């Protein structure tokens, strides 16, 4: 895993029903190994996203702005460690990520966090506030013969700062992280055979869409329709 941290990479996402996840994982046995820590293969992540009062980062994303950013604290529940992470999507569609171990204690950024943000963004960190909490479970695969890794996120839930909750138990998000465009990736070929197609998707934007009344919602309408379709597929599978 240390050899494929891929802090500068191409991300390709797929949305699928959580009910189809076991069969999908089974098809990848020959080409990938699964991350296991302390005899565990499923790991709980807790994320807190930061944004300005004006929702700068949200609107950067939904309007398709290039060179956009995302700032979050992510806690890895197995180890108890929390990292402050900055993600930048470049105008060449690459994801660049920086992070430091840090905590968001008492809803405040400490000096180390403020300096870290200032280093990577021409931005006043005092303008940032907690915006959205996100929780999910993740399985991670590492390729045997190619330089790539895949994450599968499921059991997704969101909590707004006012306590309002949204659960998406039916959704799984597969994400391929690679050095370049993965046209020959075993994962990509398998996904295509199973009828899954790549799609741009932001957990942060979708959580805000579900829990807040924000402008420009229609931009994400196609994503909402896809979620509805996946939810129906999941419900039919559970009934049968």
pLDDT of the residue at 181: 65
What's 99's domain CATH number?
Answer: 2.40.320.10
Long-range CB contacts (< 8 A, 24+ apart) of 60-65?
A: 61/202, 61/204, 61/205, 62/205, 62/216, 62/219, 62/220, 63/216, 63/219
Confidence of residue 5 (pLDDT cuts 50, 70, 90): low
Share of the chain above pLDDT 90, in %: 71
**Average pLDDT for 210-234:** 91
**Average pLDDT for 224-239:** 89
pLDDT of the residue at 161: 94
pLDDT of the residue at 206: 95
User: Helical H runs in 30-161?
Assistant: 56-62, 111-120
CB contact at 8 A, 221 and 77: no
Per-residue pLDDT tens digits for 151-195: 999 999 999 999 999 999 999 999 998 877 666 788 999 999 999
Higher pLDDT, 8 or 101: 101
96 class by beta-carbon count within 10 Å (0-12 exposed, 13-18 middle, 19+ buried): middle
pLDDT of 208 above 60: yes
Return mean pLDDT, the chain. Answer: 91
How many domains does the chain contain in total?
1
pLDDT of the residue at 122: 80
pLDDT of the residue at 4: 56
Give the alpha-carbon dihedral of 57, 51, 209, 9, to 10 degrees: 50
Q: Which residues contact 38 (CB under 8 A, 6 or more apart)?
A: 78
What residue has token string 């597969």? 174
Per-residue pLDDT tens digits for 121-158: 888 888 999 999 999 999 999 988 878 889 999 999 99
Which residue range(s) make up the domain with 195? 2-239
pLDDT of 240 above 60: no
Neighbours of 226 (CB within 10 A): 15
Confidence of residue 24 (pLDDT cuts 50, 70, 90): very high
DSSP secondary structure, 194-221, as one string? TT--B----HHHHHHHHHS--TTGGGGH
**Average pLDDT for 51-68:** 92
What CA–CA distance (Å, rounded) separates 10 from 12?
7
């Amino acid at each position: 895993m240390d050899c494929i941290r891929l802090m500068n990479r191409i991300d390709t996402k797929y949305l699928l029903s959580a009910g189809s996840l076991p069969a999908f994982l089974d098809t990848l046995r020959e080409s990938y190994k699964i991350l296991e820590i302390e005899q565990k293969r499923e790991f709980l992540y807790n994320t807190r996203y930061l944004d300005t009062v004006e929702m700068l980062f949200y609107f950067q994303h939904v309007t398709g702005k290039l060179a956009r950013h995302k700032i979050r604290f992510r806690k890895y529940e197995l180890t108890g460690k929390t990292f402050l992470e900055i993600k930048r999507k470049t105008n060449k569609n690459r994801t660049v990520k920086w992070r430091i171990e840090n905590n968001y204690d008492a809803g405040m950024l400490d000096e180390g966090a403020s300096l870290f943000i200032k280093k990577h963004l021409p931005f006043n960190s005092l303008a940032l506030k907690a915006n959205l909490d996100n929780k999910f479970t993740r399985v991670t695969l590492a390729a045997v013969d190619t330089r790539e890794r895949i994450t599968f996120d499921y059991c997704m839930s969101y909590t707004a700062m006012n306590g309002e909750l949204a659960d998406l138990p039916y959704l799984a998000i597969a994400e391929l992280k690679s050095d370049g465009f993965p046209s020959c990736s075993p994962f990509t070929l398998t996904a295509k055979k199973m009828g899954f197609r790549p799609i741009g998707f932001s957990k942060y934007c979708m959580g805000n869409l579900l829990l807040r009344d924000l402008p420009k919602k229609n931009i994400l309408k196609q994503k909402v329709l896809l979620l509805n379709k996946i939810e129906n597929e999941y419900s039919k599978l559970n009934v049968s």
